[in-house]
Amino acid sequence: MQRPDPADLMIWYDRQRRALPWRTLPGEQPDPYRVWLSEIMLQQTTVQAVKPYFAAFLARFPTVQSLAEAPADAVMSAWAGLGYYSRARNLHACAQAVVTRHGGRFPATEAELRDLPGIGAYTSAAVAAIAFGEVAAAVDGNVERVMSRLFRLETPMPAGRAEVARRTLAMVPADRPGDFAQALMDLGATICTPRKPACALCPWRAPCLARQAGEQDAYPRKLAKKGGALRRGAAFVLIRNDDAILLRTRPPKGLLGGMAEVPTGLWSDRHDPLRALDDAPTNAAWTASNSVVRHVFTHFPLELTVYAARTADPAIAPGTGRFTPLGQLADEPLPTVMRKVIATGLAVLGLGRG
């Protein structure tokens, strides 16, 4: 039985590598700031989704220094829609740590990177390898899949990740650690895909034990996960006569932490529609939307009934929230579910999109 040769992967990579905005051309020196920014954005997020955010972020915050000095609101707004908002908070904290702790330059080793906010085992290895040429094993979902198929690893993820890391590290070419990491990810993204892998085009088709057994689809082994129960609630779109909408800021941690929202009642599997207006921010002529806004989070689905009202002089308790002109909604860090809610509420009031 022949063992997989890293050189075969590198030959394939030199011919088939994807051109991506955060990648340099062969021979160019990568900018650690761009490498780091792209790696954070790409966590659990598709390349296609990241591309426009990466460009906009870079235009708005060209350097780690500028990002560190930016207000938190500006960072959250630039991230709005991309999801996993703790990444944005940690991104900001990390930029500030790089400035204060490391003089504005990213540390060059996996161990030092690992100590920064939002940088874990994968990202520290990826940045160390890609930006600084350190021999490190950047094990992400792609690498888990490639290695568990290549060696037909039976330990289910995430426990099996340790062996994947050992196998990967043992194969890193000393002269091209960054390219090897990116080659593995390209292979996983384009050839060794979750379903219907294109084994005929794979540089490692011969030594791959899963392919030899015809069981590519059975790897990586994974433990079954359970879904959460449906939660329901009420959301309140209140428009003042000067076309300003009542918003508030969510608590800094937890679900949608630090993001903006319209007032809502509790989101609960025991939500009672008959008492929904108990949670309204003010007395008004509330009109319910015909259909609910549905949204699916990682661990539970959500249905929000939208109540909308226009009033000239809303009696809002102090501290309830703030009024933002509808024309400035783009500057608010609104998660996708809240953009759906606001669109629905405006439709109820016949205000449409403007």
Partner DNA sequence: TATCCGTGGAT
Partner DNA sequence: TATCCAAGGAT
- Residues at the site binding DNA, with contacts judged by CB under 7 A: 20, 22-23, 38-39, 42-49, 81-86, 90, 117-124, 126, 140-142, 145, 158-159, 182, 185-186, 188-189, 194-195, 222-228, 254-257, 295-299, 335-337
For DNA, the closer of residues 224 and 312 by Cβ is 224
For DNA, the closer of residues 115 and 272 by Cβ is 115
CA distances from 88 to 103, 105, 256 (A): 21, 19, 11
State the nearest-atom distance from the C-beta of 253 to DNA, in Å: 8
What is the spatial distance between Cα 50 and Cα 55, in angstroms, rounded to a whole number? 9
| Active-site residue, from 39, 110, 134, 261 | 39
- Report the candidate in 214, 332, 344 with the shortest Cα–Cα distance to residue 288: 344
What is the spatial distance between Cα 18 and Cα 182, in angstroms, rounded to a whole number? 9
163 catalytic? Reply is no
What is the spatial distance between Cα 1 and Cα 152, in angstroms, rounded to a whole number? 14
CB atoms within 10 A of CB 281: 19
What is the spatial distance between Cα 190 and Cα 218, in angstroms, rounded to a whole number? 18
For DNA, the closer of residues 302 and 309 by Cβ is 302
For DNA, the closer of residues 166 and 222 by Cβ is 222
For DNA, the closer of residues 15 and 196 by Cβ is 196
State the nearest-atom distance from the C-beta of 336 to DNA, in Å: 3
- Sign of the C-alpha dihedral computed for residues 183, 185, 188 and 191 taken in this order: negative
Supply the Cα-derived Rg of the chain in whole angstroms.
Answer: 24
What is the spatial distance between Cα 119 and Cα 115, in angstroms, rounded to a whole number? 7
The helix/strand/coil state of 117 is: coil
Between the two ends of the chain, the Cα-to-Cα distance in Å is 65
Q: Is-contact 106 118, C-beta < 8 A?
A: no
State the nearest-atom distance from the C-beta of 312 to DNA, in Å: 32
State the nearest-atom distance from the C-beta of 70 to DNA, in Å: 19
State the nearest-atom distance from the C-beta of 44 to DNA, in Å: 4
Angle (nearest 5°) at CA 224 between 219 and 226:
150
Torsion angle (degrees, nearest 10) of CA 171, 137, 31, 259: 150
For DNA, the closer of residues 47 and 316 by Cβ is 47
State the nearest-atom distance from the C-beta of 37 to DNA, in Å: 11
Task: Identify the bridge partners of residue 244 per DSSP, sorted by sequence position.
Answer: 325
- For residue 179, the one-letter residue type is D
The helix/strand/coil state of 237 is: strand
State the nearest-atom distance from the C-beta of 258 to DNA, in Å: 9
Q: Given its phi and psi angles, is residue 259 left (phi above 0), alpha (psi -120 to 50 degrees) or beta? A: beta
What tokens does 142 get? 């792609």
For DNA, the closer of residues 222 and 275 by Cβ is 222
- Report the candidate in 199, 203, 197 with the shortest Cα–Cα distance to residue 212: 199
Active site residues: 39
